[in-house]
Amino acid sequence: MRAHARARARPPQGARVASGSAPPLGWRPVTFPRPPVARSVLGALIVLALDAALLALGFGDASMLVRDPRAIALLVVWGTAGVTLALLRPARGQDVTSARPDALVMLLLFVLPLVAAPLGAFGARRALYVPHHANTISWLGIALVVGGLWLRVAAMARLGRRFAPIVAVQSDHALETGGSYAFVRHPGYLGALAACLGGSLAFGSLLALPVPALMLVAQLVRVRREEALLAARFGAQWEAYAARTGALLPRLPGGR
């Protein structure tokens, strides 16, 4: 989970999630090990290789990976963001209170960003759902990938060691409301969604647009699970924070 936390003194082992409150039913304390940084970087490079293979499959021609400037741009941006995120992940364990993993949601959140751009490349190759000004749409899509991944990296950098890929809070949290979290409660998810949308448009076809739509549904399921734990952990403080921010988009003045 993109845990909204600022570290403070660690309570005794086995302490409750919050003073005087227990975690929601079905949540449990676990120790979540952080992989070594080198392993995280290797994992990022493996994912980049998978991105490249799927993109080549979408093109139907691996040489397009070095001949199409849009493909080159995407691979550079993906690789830079992936390695940066891997370096930001600390190599240390942490005690967390976690929900049981939702395997389907986690799978969707991993797979959907991988297939968006390749499906768009396939649509462009077959001239499916290619609108006027497709080249302009392509580069706007790539700009959206850059902006989305920058937002995701910035959100993760804000959290540092508090980031975890599972729905969890650490035992030594304070609510994070600074940086991009001052505007939206889940800026990392917003960045990932923007990058997925941009990838689906990166080759000018609209064929892949259902992919970010499905990703949004999966994210909203995960957001609901995360916010149940955050509400139990932070109580009135969380309610006040949620009242002035949107989950994925900034709340408009006077909006609900």
pLDDT for res 105: 93
Has residue 22 got a pLDDT over 60?
Answer: no
- Give the single-character DSSP code of 205: -
Reported as a single tens digit per residue, the pLDDT across 58-70 is 999 999 999 999 9
pLDDT for res 157: 87
* Nearest residue to 244 (alpha-carbon basis) of 158, 188, 183: 183
pLDDT for res 161: 67
For the chain, the average pLDDT equals 83
- Which amino acid is present at 117? A
More confident residue, 79 or 161: 79
Domain assignment of residue 235, yes or no: yes
Predicted confidence band at 158 (pLDDT cuts at 50, 70, 90)? confident
Give all strands (DSSP E) within 1-129, no chain letters.
28-32, 94-98
Has residue 18 got a pLDDT over 50?
Answer: no
Reported as a single tens digit per residue, the pLDDT across 220-244 is 999 998 898 888 888 999 999 999 9
- Domain with residue 49: its CATH number is 1.20.120.1630
Q: How many C-beta neighbours within 10 Å does residue 181 have?
A: 20
More confident residue, 35 or 127: 127
Structurally, the chain folds into a number of domains equal to: 1
Reported as a single tens digit per residue, the pLDDT across 85-115 is 888 875 444 555 556 668 899 999 999 999 9
Domain assignment of residue 153, yes or no: yes
Mean pLDDT along residues 45-69: 97
Report whether 189 contacts 216 (CB < 8 A).
Answer: no
Domain assignment of residue 81, yes or no: yes
Q: How many C-beta neighbours within 10 Å does residue 86 have?
A: 19
Pairing verdict, β 28-32 and 168-170: unpaired
Q: What order do you get walking across the sheet with 94-98 strand by strand?
A: 28-32, 94-98, 168-170
Tokens, residue 237: 């403080």
Domain assignment of residue 20, yes or no: no
Domain assignment of residue 208, yes or no: yes
Distances (CA, A) of 94 to 32, 37, 39, 168: 5, 15, 18, 11
pLDDT for res 101: 67
| Domain membership of residue 147 as a residue range | 29-244
Domain assignment of residue 253, yes or no: no
Helix and strand counts by DSSP (H, E) for the chain: 8, 3
Has residue 23 got a pLDDT over 60?
Answer: no
State which H helix or E strand residue 221 sits in.
helix 210-234
Domain assignment of residue 251, yes or no: no
Has residue 162 got a pLDDT over 50?
Answer: yes
pTM of the model: 0.84
Domain assignment of residue 78, yes or no: yes
- Select, from the ranges 4-13, 98-107, 118-127, 235-244, the one with the highest average predicted confidence (pLDDT): 118-127
What percent of the chain clears pLDDT 70, i.e. is strictly above it?
A: 75
